[in-house]
Amino acid sequence: MKPTWRKSSYSDGGANNCVEVAGNCPGTVPVRDSKRSDGPVLVFRSGSWASFLTYVKK
């Protein structure tokens, strides 16, 4: 499945702070730097990503 990318709501819109995530990949969450759309992609298991977000929001 090809990821559908969206900019993180926590990105400030600045040229240097943009992270994109794709939420349409069952069981995984791909993450990339929006400035390098052809660059590397980190792929996390959905549960691990959810744990990370919970921790970051605290």
Distances (CA, A) of 58 to 4, 11, 47, 52, 53: 28, 17, 17, 10, 9
| Model pLDDT for residues 17-58, shown as the tens digit of each residue | 788 999 899 999 999 988 888 999 999 999 999 999 899 888
pTM over 0.85: no
Q: What is the DSSP string of 5-50?
A: EEE-TT--S-TT--EEEE--STTEEEEEEGGGTTS--EEEEHHHHH
Tracing tokens 């559908």 back to the chain, one arrives at: 4
- Reported as a pLDDT band with limits 50, 70 and 90, residue 7 is confident
Please choose, from the candidates 16, 22, 19, the residue with its C-alpha nearest in 3D space to the C-alpha of residue 32.
19
